[in-house]
Structure 1
Amino acid sequence: MARIEHLDDLAGVDDDRLADYRDLRDVELRKHLEAEHGLFLAEGEKVVRRAIEAGHPVRSFLMAPRWLDGLADVLDTTDAPCFVLPERVIEEVTGFHVHRGALASLERTPLPAVADVLDDARSVLVLEDIVDHTNVGAIFRCAAGLGFDAVLLAPRCADPLYRRAVKVAMGTVFSVPWTRLPDWAGALPMLSAAGFTTVALTLADDAVPVEDAVAGVDKVALVLGSEGHGLSARWQQAADRRAVIPMAAGVDSLNVAAASAIACYVTARR
């Protein structure tokens, strides 16, 4: 059972035991801290549960008193410390209002090999240089909700385990298999050699409607590019097919998360 520790309201803000939870709004600082210590944060009851169910060891919990009963069964599964503070003090520690009331610091586990993630997969998302954590989280939620089997990320993509990404994904980063691509340059030829038809979402002149690009395809890898410039020329050229979501006059594209939802929906029904 977790060790319940009610911290003093005043001393709690500066308590070294809460170091995992400080400065959550400082993205660069958090990225450095989480990488250095091999941790990530889960926010909210559902997300905390999903992270623990996925096998991530718990470092600690931070929650308001009202969450102790609701998460009692989760607290029974670990001997990690559970720090309890009023919500106003939690806000001082973290730098924002934790309206879902509960946080957990968990340990990262080693990423699987690409071959293991692709094993038995038929529908895969491949992300190149998508740097916004909200977009990455939304894409994972689309992948889970629309039946995709895996997500592969280029080295410069945002971290799916960053708190904001986990929150937007509603914890689906723990249920959809994913990993990083060690070889960005050869990633799409590697997928083609593994039997996937790579379909790049792009505004290229030879792009066809996405429903046509995926029609009759068995194993498909949908390839999505960065928020600003889209896919690199290298990945556009390396893809087996190029596809577009037809738009009304005057609009050339959608936000990458919205585009992924449409493309996943069409692909899932191929």
Structure 2
Amino acid sequence: MPRIPLDDLADPRYAALLADYTRLKDVQLRARREPAEGLFLAEGVEVVRRALAAGHRPRSFLLSPARADELADVLDAVLAEHDVPVFLAPAAAFTVLTGVDLHRGAIASVHRPPERSVADLLAGLGPGARRLVVLEDVVDHTNVGAVFRSAAAFGVDGVVVSPRCADPLYRRSVRVSMGTVLHLPWARATGWPGDLDLLRDSGFTVAALALADDSTALDAFDAPERLALLLGTEGDGLTRRALAGADVTVRIPMAPRVDSLNVAAASAVALWATRG
């Protein structure tokens, strides 16, 4: 399919295809709609490249002419295999169409892969997996993306998110993760916190990061060979049920006047301290 200049945003021929990019500002709507319609958005040149390199199949592209030139090599390769539209639009048109000011000038609508179960994730990782991150009810997309980026940086093998955790494939999560969510295996738990038993049955020790009286300081914690690090939501931390499902509780030693870190910052510290 040839590149399509968007001279008229209201052109009825493209209304259905461009619907993937409209109303990006409505987070609640998009969070419901994108999984239901089987899509996610990759934003920015590098993230688009990583989505395609990870084997994700595009639905369409919305690009500024300059970004289309930057992506010419991958576009040619993709278009040789997939008949998908490449819409070319000036910066002003991006804002009108999407409802947000997108300076990056590159978005791809991508087919969403089927979600893995925790059992499928563990089977796919196999016995060589040594580190997992588990997120309980982290509802901020930025934090989810930042945790994935830290997980990838410190060699984590996979991520498990609880049923109420924010969507790792929401565009903000994908962007903040720098696309690492697109190649780092992850699964959404369906039984919570019961799915922690599946990790334990696979030989993982579940370590909860929490400020509990019986917690062990990270610098005194002898990390086991197979570790699943459990982190809780931004405000309240881990639920009692999740804490009860952990094998051990650990904490990050801090100055007396500060009792906690943002969950994304805490994940980076804890993953560095327990790196294999």
TM-score range, shorter chain: over 0.9
- Match for 1:4: what amino acid? R
Q: Per-residue CA shift, 1:207-244, capped at 9, x if unaligned?
A: 1112333x151100000001111000011122110001
Alignment RMSD (CA, Å): 1.6
Aligned partner of 1:211 in structure 2 is: 219
Aligned partner of 1:266 in structure 2 is: 273
- Match for 2:242: what amino acid? W
Supply the distance in 2 between the matched residues of 1:3 and 1:216 (Cα, whole angstroms): 54
For residue 70 of structure 2, give the secondary structure of its aligned residue in structure 1: coil
Aligned partner of 1:4 in structure 2 is: 3
- Match for 1:248: what amino acid? A
Supply the distance in 1 between the matched residues of 2:210 and 2:2 (Cα, whole angstroms): 52
- Match for 1:228: what amino acid? G
Aligned partner of 2:116 in structure 1 is: 112
Aligned partner of 1:24 in structure 2 is: 24
Q: Structure 1: give runs of 5+ residues left out of the alignment.
A: none
Aligned partner of 1:87 in structure 2 is: 91
Residues 66-75 or 140-149, more deviating:
66-75
Q: Following superposition of structure 1 onto structure 2, how do residues 33-182 of structure 1 map, counting pairs within 5 Å?
A: 33-76=33-76, 77-78=78-79, 79-118=83-122, 119=126, 120-182=128-190
Supply the distance in 2 between the matched residues of 1:5 and 1:241 (Cα, whole angstroms): 56
- Match for 1:200: what amino acid? A
Change over 3 Å in CA distance of 1:224–1:13 after alignment to 2: farther
Contact 1:42 1:48 in 2 (8 A): yes
For residue 172 of structure 2, give the secondary structure of its aligned residue in structure 1: helix
Q: Structure 2: give runs of 5+ residues left out of the alignment.
A: none
Asked if 1:249 corresponds to 2:256, the answer is yes
Aligned partner of 1:226 in structure 2 is: 233
C-alpha displacement at 1:116, in angstroms? Answer: 3.8
Supply the distance in 1 between the matched residues of 2:129 and 2:238 (Cα, whole angstroms): 23
C-alpha displacement at 1:8, in angstroms? Answer: 1.2
Contact 2:117 2:190 in 1 (8 A): no
- Match for 2:269: what amino acid? I
| Runs of 4+ residues over 3 Å off in structure 1 | 9-15
- Aligned-pair identity in percent equals 53
- Match for 2:51: what amino acid? A
Supply the distance in 2 between the matched residues of 1:182 and 1:156 (Cα, whole angstroms): 10
Supply the distance in 2 between the matched residues of 1:83 and 1:30 (Cα, whole angstroms): 21
Change over 3 Å in CA distance of 1:128–1:10 after alignment to 2: closer
Supply the distance in 2 between the matched residues of 1:10 and 1:160 (Cα, whole angstroms): 30
- Match for 1:255: what amino acid? N
